[in-house]
């Protein structure tokens, strides 16, 4: 498969192949009735694509939790997920669904070894950024409520990012499912860095630069304007990634966006064009995170999905 110009992006993911055997047709309904730290209890959320693999990750540093509509791979050192997988279905993501997010607050996840708390975020200036969006579960109140765990959130710049262009990306991805009537899989997570900016030269539409965050971690000790060192806080990502896999099209694409305010960098009428500039190869996301995605596929199929800038289309 060759690199495809992204300038042809117009409407919805291209239908390219029949639905492979074994891909589930039904709604994203985890087999577990309550969250459980056992991925074998929710195979319909992840088995079609496989769980991401992190090399040399100690068991005490990492906890996988099946929630009702998503599965989270939680990094207990960073107190954030390294990845969150959703199986998004048209029925569950229907925006006319009855579920609401009124009066919802994030809460610690007792199933992980070290969970963030509200005190970590208070006064930090960061949003509690959903990885599996609440709006993807408008079809069921219990599923929507279950997205409000800190194991499903990272510190995210609010104005100009989480509440604007990232929300627009989430909405457009959701419409890929609801408008086409097809199931999709999403993998969302953070990209961290230590001491210097990272240039991503092989972005599909140019070069992206990931700056070091002003705060690398947040906790009660450095909330507000405090300059105190935060040694065991919630890690602040430099960027967020989202990988989208359309099972029926047998096609995937990746987006990487800096964790910063993007206000003023694009016109409100050109949000899609701006998102397009942040398309990257999935292999690039692997290089930045140390994760291996699509472990359910053989090496050849993984390479096809990861090494190319594919044409993806939004309505």
- pLDDT tens-digit profile of 216-250? 899 999 887 777 888 889 999 999 999 999 988 88
CATH number at 6-306:
3.40.570.10
User: Which pLDDT belongs to residue 57?
Assistant: 63
- In the predicted model, what is the mean pLDDT of residues 25-33? 54
Each domain of the chain, given as residue ranges in start order, spans 6-306
Rounded to whole angstroms, the Cα distance separating 51 from 72 reads: 10
CA separation for the pair 98, 82 (Å, rounded): 30
**Of 71, 128, 133, 86, the residue nearest 105 (C-alpha):** 128
Q: Which of 67, 74, 87, 130 does the annotation list as catalytic?
A: 130
The pTM for the full model equals: 0.89
Q: Would residue 278 show up in a list of annotated catalytic residues for this protein?
A: no
Contact predicate 73/295, CB 8 Å: no
Q: Residues 119-151: pLDDT tens digits?
A: 999 999 999 999 999 999 999 999 999 999 999
């Amino acid at each position: 498969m060759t690199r495809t110009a992204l300038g042809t992006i117009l409407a919805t993911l291209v239908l390219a192949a029949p639905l492979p055997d074994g891909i589930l047709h039904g709604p994203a309904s985890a087999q577990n009735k309550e969250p459980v730290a056992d991925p074998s209890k929710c195979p319909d959320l992840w088995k079609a694509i496989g769980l991401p693999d992190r090399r040399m990750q100690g068991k005490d540093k990492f906890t996988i939790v099946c929630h009702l509509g998503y599965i989270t791979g939680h990094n207990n050192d960073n107190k954030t997920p390294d990845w969150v997988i959703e199986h998004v279905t048209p029925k569950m993501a229907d925006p006319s669904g009855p579920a609401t997010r009124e009066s919802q607050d994030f809460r610690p996840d007792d199933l992980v070894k070290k969970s963030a708390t509200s005190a970590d975020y208070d006064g930090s200036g960061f949003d509690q950024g959903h990885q599996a969006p609440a709006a993807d579960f408008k079809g069921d109140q219990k599923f929507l409520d279950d997205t409000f765990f800190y194991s499903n959130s990272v510190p995210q710049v609010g104005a100009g990012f989480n509440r604007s262009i990232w929300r627009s990306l989430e909405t457009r991805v959701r419409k890929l499912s609801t408008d086409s009537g097809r199931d999709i899989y999403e993998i969302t997570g953070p990209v961290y860095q230590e001491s210097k900016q990272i240039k991503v030269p092989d972005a599909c539409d140019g070069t992206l630069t990931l700056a070091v965050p002003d705060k690398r971690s947040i906790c009660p000790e450095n909330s507000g304007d405090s300059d105190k060192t935060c040694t065991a806080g919630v890690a602040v990502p430099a960027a967020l990634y989202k990988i989208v896999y359309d099972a029926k099209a047998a096609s995937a694409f990746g987006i990487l966006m800096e964790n910063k305010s993007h206000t003023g960098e694009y016109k409100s009428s050109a949000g899609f064009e701006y998102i397009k500039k942040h398309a990257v190869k999935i292999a690039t996301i692997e290089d930045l995170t140390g994760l291996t995605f699509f472990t359910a596929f053989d090496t050849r199929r993984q390479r096809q999905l990861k090494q190319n800038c594919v044409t993806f289309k939004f309505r």
